[in-house]
């Protein structure tokens, strides 16, 4: 299942258009984000927010190349 999440401030502009757009795709459900307070990502503390970690660079050296 794929969820098309519409933020509350864009419901008037987008909700009906997205429902119409995805009406023939049974794998997509259009929903409105109604989270608030601690449930909202905005309301999470820094420790609880999802983090993005970079992968370590592959060790070793790479051969020099000449640019044209």
Domain ranges for the chain = 2-43
Q: What is the pLDDT of residue 40?
A: 56
The single residue listed with the structure tokens 């757009």 is 21
Q: Which of 21-25, 31-35, 39-43 has the lowest mean pLDDT?
A: 39-43
Residue 32 contacts residue 6 (beta carbons within 8 Å): yes
Tokens of 18: 């997205």
The pTM (predicted TM-score) of the whole model is: 0.52
**Closest by CA position to 31, among listed 8, 55, 52, 63:** 8
* Residue range 3-15, pLDDT digits in tens: 999 999 999 999 9
The whole-angstrom separation of Cα 31 and Cα 1 is 12
């Amino acid at each position: 299942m794929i969820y098309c999440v519409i933020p509350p401030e864009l419901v008037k502009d987008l909700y009906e258009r997205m429902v119409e757009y995805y009406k023939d795709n049974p794998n997509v459900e259009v929903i409105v984000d109604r989270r608030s307070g601690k449930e909202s990502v905005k309301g999470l503390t820094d420790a609880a927010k999802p983090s993005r970690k970079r992968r370590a660079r592959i060790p070793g050296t790479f051969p020099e190349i000449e640019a044209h």
